[in-house]
Structure 1
Amino acid sequence: MKIAVIGGGPAGLYFSMLMKQRHPGDEIVVHERNAAGATYGWGVVFSDVALSFLKEADEPFFRKFTAHHERCDFMEIVHRGVPVRLSNNHFSRTSRIDLLNVLQEACRETGVDVRYNSCVSDPAALKDFDVIVAADGVNSEVRTRLAGHFQPTFDERRNKFAWYGTSRLFHPVSLIFRDTSQGVFIAHAYQYSKTHSTFLVEVDPQTWRRCGLDTATEDESRAFCESVFAEDLQGEPLLTNRSQWFQAKVVSNSRWSHGNVVLLGDALRSVHFSLGSGTRMAMQDAIALSDALSMHRNDIAAAFSAFEASRKDASDRFQDAARKSLDWYESVDTRMNLDPVSFAYDYMRRTGRVSHEDLRKRDPAFIQQVEAAAMRRVQLAHA
């Protein structure tokens, strides 16, 4: 089988590695528009649950993949300057460049032909291939070119985001909420290496404009955000790497394939980073697609149907959770009056997928705090 993959991100590389391992005689070519080693952004975070699928799929690769990850078994919600610990929330973090390096090395070892600085956006240019995998990201050019067939929908959300890094090490995954005179600012922070953390800043569009961030340069925005979170950064700077403001876009597609072309990863479906599941979903898609193509070697249409059938329910569930999570963040100003413990509890329940009893099993000490706070409110109401 001859397979062309457009896009050298986690989805495209992991799929290519799996297919080449299972079928060494297949010709697999990855076309990546950027140079080798080029990447933007900072770190990537996985929950332990999210990593379990990798171990099941290929344990030797899993060990390589996680060898240099930073790990922590709790997270923190910081509200009114008070950190609330949420135990038994296990996270594993790594830099995006290290993640790609591990995948690139695995592809080289298995014999995948990865071609850098190779920009392909038209599947018609790859007519000699049996299968074309469009793994070219949330702004997929292949999907745009074939939009009439894939029928994509886009839900662009209102909040503004900017990705920064920092040398301040946030050992737990930390969500920080700062209520300023101009409005609420949110930081999503986590250590991903021995020396750096990701620091993603989120703000509603009205506050963003009031603060002049709509006209600020990249460095002016960085300096402003550094001042908002000065207490949290403890004197360490924010660092930029194409840290432009953007809005979250939830992408879905009515059809996942057309002819011999199939979408994969963010080209197929985006999951908001507040759930920490985008890379996980992309790599699970890669496993499912390689399974389907291995099962239906002589029937590409059947393989694509099997791929969609195996992943559509999970995709829909995660996108529903992502929208609920986005709704929570976009209305957080209505919750800032809550005490820190009740605020953290409200956050943990935001998607409707985690119950009170789920939280009790995971962190009984936290639920004791929640119930004590609720009792205090009742007592004050009847005082």
Structure 2
Amino acid sequence: MKIVVIGAGPAGLYFSLLAKKSNPEHEIQVFEQNVKGATYGWGVVFSDIGLTFLKEADPEFFQEFTANHERCDYMEVVHQDTHVQIHGNHFSRTARVDMLKTLQDACEREGVRVEYGKRIEDIESLASQVDLVVAADGGNSAVRSQFADHFRPTFEKRRNKFAWYGTHQRFHPVSLIFRPNEHGTFIAHAYQYSPQLSTFLVEVDPDTWKRAGLDTASEEESRRYCAEVFRPDLGSNELLTNRSLWFEATIVKNEHWTHRNIVLLGDALRTVHFSLGSGTRMAMQDAIALHKAVSAHPENIPAAFATFEELRRPASKSFQGAASKSLDWYENVDTKLHLDPVSFAYDYMRRTGQVSHDDLKARDPLFAAAYEATQSELTELAQTTAA
């Protein structure tokens, strides 16, 4: 097959790698509008479940992909200055730039041609010259925009504000930190992704953001303000910037996933909020599914697309539903701050409705027992007060 992939992110590169390794006769060309090595953001995180899919798809590349990851088997919720650990949550982290380089190098070794600094303007003409066009060009997909009347995308902008930072403070567990001050509640999502650096994502509701003056602050002023909010957690380390501008999360969905011989993949297809840490995982699972579908129907693109949707639509719907509930929890966190630290962490873990008490008990019996003991004490206190 003659295949063009637009976008050299995780979805586009991983599909290209799997397809080329499976059938070296495929002619695969990847076009990326940015120059090689240009990426924003800090680290990415995978759960053990996400990595299982990658190991099953290509065990050899999996070893290369995870060779230098930072690993941890627990997470931590910081509330009221109390650190609550929840074990049985395995995470693997790496720098985004390193992840992309690993994918790029593997693709080029297999003979996939990757051209950087190349923006495709005429998708219609390109599609007429090849068997398959994979549009993996991100949440602001130009391909999706060009054929918007067919793909019928919807965009839901959520209310909270976010800014991506890095720091030399090393957060070994995936950490969620809640810091109220005179302006409102600030949230940090932090995790170490290299021997020297951690990702540090700051989240705040729009009213608090304005009261703090962050709506008019420069990038440097915002960095300094957030560093002081989280000084108890950062210690002597500062926050580091890399286009650390405030933004809102936009949830993207598409009614149709394909058009003629064009298929959307990754964030171009659907976005999953980073509060679930699943965007990159979902993109690479899309790549696996599309590869399986094309391999099953190499001479029949409509059949391949039908198989791809059959494989991915249920998971996509499930993840976006869970992400919506997760977003709701964060956007209404002020209603939870009265909870004691253990109950607060428990409420967080149950926020999507997909994790039961028995699930938590199986993952971390000590955490579940601590929650049960806390609830028993609260019940006894309520009964004593009533008497």
Q: CA deviation at 1:298?
A: 1.1
Tell me by how many angstroms 1:192 deviates: 0.0
After the TM superposition, list the runs of 4 or more consecutive aligned residues in structure 1 that deviate by more than 4 angstroms: none
- Give the superposition deviation at 1:116: 0.3
Deviation at 1:124, TM superposition (A): 1.5
d(CA) in 2 for partners of 1:230 and 1:8? Answer: 37
Q: Distance in 2 between matches of 1:220 and 1:172?
A: 28
Separation of aligned partners in 2, 1:370 and 1:153:
40
Name the counterpart of 1:259: 260
Q: What is residue 97 of structure 2 aligned with on the other side?
A: 97
CA contact (8 A) 1:122 1:142 kept: no
Instruction: State the one-letter code of the partner of 2:31.
Output: H
Partner of 1:336: 337
In structure 1, distance between residues paired with 2:217 and 2:352: 34
- 2: CA distance between counterparts of 1:94 and 1:37? 15
Q: Percent identity?
A: 63
What residue number does 2:202 align with? 201
* 1:174 is aligned to 2:175: yes
TM-superposed CA distance for 1:382, in Å, is 1.8
Q: What's the CA shift string for 1:189-237, capped at 9, x where partnerless?
A: 0000000000000000000011111111111100000000000001101
SS of structure 2 residue aligned to 1:290: helix
Structure 1 match to 2:56? 56
* Matched residue count: 383
Distance in 2, matches of 1:214 and 1:181, equals 16
**Aligned amino acid, residue 124 of structure 1:** E
- Is contact 1:6-1:136 (8 Å) kept? yes
Residue 362 of structure 1 aligns with an amino acid whose one-letter code is R
List runs of 5+ in structure 1 lacking aligned partners: none
AA of the residue aligned to 1:325: S
CA–CA separation in structure 1 for the residues paired with 2:169 and 2:75: 16
State the alpha-carbon separation in 2 of the partners of residues 331 and 319 from structure 1.
18
**1:327 offset after TM fit, Å?**
0.3
Q: TM-score, normalised by structure 2?
A: 0.98
Alignment partners' CA distance in 1, 2:14 and 2:252? 21
Render the CA deviation track for 1:37-71: whole Å, top value 9, x for unaligned.
11100000001111001110111100000000000
Contact 1:122 1:145 in 2 (8 A): no
- 1:153-168 equivalences under 5 Å are 153-168=154-169
Alignment match, 1:68: 68
Distance in 1 (CA, whole Å) between partners of 2:254 and 2:178 is: 34
The answer on whether the counterparts of 1:123 and 1:261 sit within 8 Å (CA) in structure 2 is no
Asked if 2 retains the 8 angstrom alpha-carbon contact of 1:160 and 1:202, the reply is yes
Q: Deviations over 1:251-278 (max 9, x none)?
A: 1111000001100000001011111111
Q: How has the CA–CA distance of structure 1 residues 121 and 325 changed in structure 2, closer, same or farther, with 3 Å as cutoff? A: farther
Name the residue aligned to 2:193: 192
What amino acid does structure 1 have at the position aligned with 2:176?
L
2:16 is aligned with 1:16: yes
Instruction: Give the secondary-structure state (helix, strand or coil) at the position aligned to 1:311.
Output: helix
Counterpart residue type for residue 41 of structure 2: G
| Match of residue 283 from structure 2 | 282
Question: Which range moved further: 114-123 or 135-144?
Answer: 114-123
What is the deviation of 1:121?
4.2
Larger displacement relative to structure 2 (187-196 or 151-160): 151-160
Q: How far did 1:36 drift?
A: 0.9
The secondary structure found in structure 2 opposite 1:382 is: helix
Shift of 1:122: 3.5
Matches within 5 A, 1:13-162: 13-126=13-126, 127-162=128-163
**TM-score for both structures, normalised by structure 1:** 0.99
- Could you say what the CA RMSD is over the residues aligned between the two structures, in angstroms? 0.7
CA distance in 2: counterparts of 1:299 and 1:352, whole angstroms: 39
Consecutive unaligned residues in structure 2, runs of 5 or more: none
Deviation at 1:100, TM superposition (A): 0.2
